[in-house]
Each structure stands twice: as C-alpha cells, then as structure tokens.
Amino acid sequence: MGLDYSLQLSTDMDRAQALGLLAENIQGLQSSEEDAFLCDTDIIIAAGELDEQSRCIMEEGFGFRPNLIVLFRFPSNHDYNKFAQTMLQGALLLLDHGRDGVLLFNGEIIALQRLDGKLVFNADHHIWDSDYLKGRLTVPFEFRSLPSPFL
C-alpha cells in the first residue's frame, strides 16, 4: 500500500511546467515515456489541473483557489526518508514558483501550508520534525498544530 500526498497550489504554472521544474531541480527523477509523471524507486510525482468543484472546496476550507494539484506517492517500503526529503524539496520548489498552497496527506491532513506568504508545518503530522526542518530550510517557517478544515 502506498502513501499519498497532494500539493494544492495557486500558480501560473501548468502541469507540464510544474513537472519540468521538478525534473530540472531534483536529481534522480525520470520522466515516464509519455511525460505523464516523474518517478524514481521511492517516489512517483504527477500533476494536473483542478476542476471547479475542487477549487471551491479548497477556497472554502483554506481561503484560496488553487488551480494545480501535484501528487506525491510513496509506492513501496524502500526508503521513506528519501521520499520525505524529495517531497519536501519538490513542494518547497513549487511553492517558490506559486502563491498559496497546502500539502495534504490523504486529502485531509495538513502536512504543510503556505498562506499569505507564511510557511507553517503541522507539528501533529509526523513526517518532519522541527530539528529536521531547521537543518534543511533557509526560509522562515513555523512549526505548530494545524487542524484540518476537512476533518
């Protein structure tokens, strides 16, 4: 069974641009033959446009209208730490090229969010801890509980 995370993002990029940006900046990612997704042994990344209903749901819950969704899937029990590191790198890269965004676990639990320029990691979701983040991030961030509007 795999683990699924989705970054809902407000951006000027389309699906192909987002995947291209990730492929250019994250070592080891390979494009599928039809350029539908990126992958390596520990992660699969796909992207797509959000439909109007999904945009409205996110706006109601988080106060912004995303237009792009980027899916991060951990397909195996191979190297979870590498998956978490690659996902963090990818999510932060995409947020740097977008506006507001929320990374959700299984579509409900907030892993991180950037709203109005403030980056916050959910202390209740145990993918990254504060020390791990402090050692890797050069941008300001908060580490606190983030209750989901969807639960």
Q: Model confidence over 66-99: pLDDT tens digits?
A: 999 999 999 877 899 999 999 999 999 999 999 9
> Is pLDDT of 64 > 80?
yes
What b/e readout covers 16-39, taking b as 16+ CB neighbours within 10 angstroms? eebbbbbeeebeebeeeeeeebbb
**Domain region containing 23:** 3-144
Does residue 150 form part of some domain? no
Domain of 32: which CATH number?
3.30.70.2920
Residue 136 bridge partners (DSSP): none
- Let me know if residue 151 belongs to a domain: no
| Tokens describing residue 5 | 């995370």
> What's the confidence (pLDDT) of residue 1?
56
Contacts of 42 (CB under 8 A, 6+ apart): 74, 75, 76, 78, 79, 80, 82, 83, 86
- In the chain, the number of structural domains is 1
Distance spanning both ends of the chain, measured CA to CA: 23
